[in-house]
Chain A
Amino acid sequence: MRSLACLAAGECARVRAVVSEDAMRRRLMELGFVEGTRVRCALRGPPGGPAAYWVRGAMIALRRADARSIWVSADS
């Protein structure tokens, strides 16, 4: 298991858990980051900046700190 922030551009993974504080966790889950969801890193932005992910048919940009709170496993 590793965090979503570790994904390289174009890499796929499956969400295992979201571990941020309550409000943010619910927000991320509403955006589609629920357990079992397949995500793909679409783009890595400027260094230190956000990255964009494809999740459930939408492109979502997350800051590094938020992406770090999402645990993913390799997509089999």
Chain B
Amino acid sequence: MKRSRSNNAAGAPRASVALGGNPNVGKSTVFNALTGLRQHTGNWAGKTVAVARGAYTYRRRRYAVVDLPGTYSLSARSAEEEVARDFLLSGQADAAVIVCDATCLERSLRLVYQTMALTRRVIVCVNLLDEARRLGLCPDLAALGRRLGVPVVGMSARTGEGVGALMEAVRAVTEGEIVPAPVLPALPPGPEDERARALAAAAEEAARVCLPVCPDPSGHRLRRRLDTLFMGRRTGAALMLALLCLVFWITLAGANVPSRLLGTLLLSAQEPLRAGLAALGAPLWLCEALTAGVWRTLAWVVSVMLPPMAIFFPLFTLLEDFGYLPRAAFTLDRHFCRAKACGKQALTMCMGWPDLFGGYRAAPSTARMTLSVHSSNTGSGVCMNSLAR
């Protein structure tokens, strides 16, 4: 509290807000809803653990938002956890917003408890309320707030519901209007097992306070059927191939026409450019280097690469939103396991594919693809522990 007060006294216009949470709880959507920044963060192995930053203004005050990597815990065993933990411990954040999944509250609350042990200024943001309602859940956020001792805000970041309330809560906490008083479970000092059990029990209890009646999400029939289909022994791999082929076909077929148009358009500017340069009195070698060299190459690269990427990545995002990617990782893991990698890396590879297409069309090069495989971390056994959505 001291920090934010002294900030105010000095008239400092900025407050810093850390955004944490489990992977796949819509943390990036919350980040985008707050900052208005279209920004993609994923937790697939191989992506650099870099924290994304953004900012927003609320009631004439600037708030810098730091999007921490999604983690299940803060015990600093992976690079992501270390980054998240160090940032929270460094005291740089005037408030820590922990994004929770309303449909899987208990797991999120374990991270909330861990965060509250590191810093007091915690705000709990229960996201995906719309999805919870669809499942027939209606979380009692006020009760959860009383139980945790920190502000709790409900949200559906996708529709924008609750964004204002979150900004208001952040303002109140950073300005010291609300002083969170986290209620931490008594964790026994003994062996780690005991503590893990106590933490799990506390999270379970808090989740029950919030959702007294919690229908088993596994009971959702359509979802169960789809899962059986997309992750099944026989159908999983076939469906994945079919889906990927479809995505690639749309990408390739759809990119042809805009590629040609873009190419013609850009290359048609070459002659006027040369004439213009000549008119300016540029020497011949410079004219040639700039037009036949720089411009021509640029035109080729843009016309070949841009359309497939503009089609492939939105399609991929769509698959991600449907929650298909972890399921594909599940299906593929066995094969990647043999290469001492994990199924999640298939997605890193997929993300490199449009470049590969471009490569095939212009000059064969698979550099990016191998790069993404090499830079991926290996070893972690629990690979696809984010199937909840």
Contact = CB atoms under 8 A, between A and B. Distances in A.
B200 interface: yes
A26 B106 contact: no
Interface string A51-64: 01010111111110
Most buried by B among A37, A40, A57: A57
B383 to A, nearest CB: 7
A52 B236 CA distance: 13
Interface stretch (B52-60, B70-78, B142-150, B366-374): B70-78
Interface string B182-224: 0000000000110011001000100100000010111000001
A66 B204 CA distance: 24
A59 B387 contact: yes
A65 B388 contact: no
Size bracket of the B interface: 35 or more
A58 B107 contact: yes
Given A26-B75, A56-B107, A56-B204, A45 B233 contact: yes
Given A30-B75, A34-B200, A46-B334, A63 B381 contact: yes
Interface in A3-57: 23-24, 26-32, 34-37, 40, 42-50, 52, 54, 56-57
Interface in B303-356: 326, 329-331, 333-334, 337, 343
Contacts of A31: 72, 107, 382, 385
B106 A56 contact: yes
A43 B218 contact: no
Main secondary structure of the interface of B (DSSP, over half): helix
B110 interface: yes
Contact of B77 (A23, A29, A50): A23
Nearest to B195: A29
B218 A44 contact: no
B340 to A, nearest CB: 13
A63 to B, nearest CB: 6
Interface string B90-107: 000000000000011111
A61 B344 CA distance: 12
A47 B234 CA distance: 10
A39 B264 CA distance: 60
Given A31-B382, A42-B227, A65-B381, 9 more contacts: A32-B200, A35-B197, A49-B330, A49-B333, A50-B334, A52-B231, A54-B217, A59-B387, A62-B385
5 tightest CB-CB pairs across the interface, nearest first?
A49-B334, A29-B196, A59-B387, A61-B384, A58-B388
